[in-house]
Amino acid sequence: MTTKLPALPRRAAAIFASTGLLLAIPVAAQAHVKISPDTAQAGSYATIDFRVPTEKANASTTKVEVDLPIDHPFTSASYQPVPGWSAKITTSKLAKPVKTADGTITQAPTKIVWTASKGAEIKPGQFQQFPVSLGVVPDVPSISFDAIQTYSDGSVVKWDEATKAGAAEPEHPAPVLTIGAAASTAASTSAAPSDAPSVAAAPQSSSNNSSSDSNTGVWFGVGGLAVAVVALLVALYAVTRRSR
């Protein structure tokens, strides 16, 4: 004879399964190449991090390539050194000169490539941040950066799919920087760096704090859900004991 579970345990099992899915959501939400912060002001210099996670379970990330826009180019680009990684910025002559408020641009930085030394690869379950300073930020609504991630097993993942408003996020979305309106001339001028090292290094603590706060929030949420699950199991055990 088949024994049916009481209604309460059956409901609890369903809740437990749903809770497990909720616990998985924060992890899945982080598993894309993203920009942090993902907003900047037109006419200013912006320091951002390209955040690269390793999604594979049996391979590490060994190289990261980011294409900078050529239709609305930046006038300059610099990077903050990442321990164990070498970086190279490619500057190219533009096929068509671009007119900006600061003059006509005939050449611009078009690509940044980071390559890991042995032992510095981004291992499964880890991520790495690559800080860069870019300027002058073009006066356009947003900029998309195509990225290429190379793994130790030779496989390559291209993060170059456009995210459309109102549509589901694609499997490999390109990182996007949303751009706000330009500030006053004085404010924009004061934002320009005096030299590359100060641009990359000074704002970094703010970026890291933002990342830390974001990760802390995620884990507090996971911890709260875990406590709720434990409490539910204890309550179910007590009910089962009383019903015997």
DSSP 145-196: --EEEEETTS-EEEE-BPPPTTSPPPSSBPPEEEEE----HHHHHHHS-SSH
Is the pLDDT at 201 greater than 50? The verdict is no
* pLDDT of amino acid 164: 86
What is the per-residue pLDDT across 123-163, written as a single tens digit (0 to 9) for each? 999 999 999 999 999 999 999 999 999 999 999 999 999 98
Q: Give the whole-angstrom CA distance, residue 209 versus residue 129.
A: 13
Q: For residue 129, what are its two tokens?
A: 């941040």
Query: Chain-wide mean pLDDT for the chain?
Result: 77
Q: Which CATH architecture has domain 33-196?
A: Sandwich (2.60)
> Between 113 and 7, whose confidence is greater?
113
Phi-psi region of 16 (alpha: psi -120 to 50; beta: other; left: phi over 0): alpha
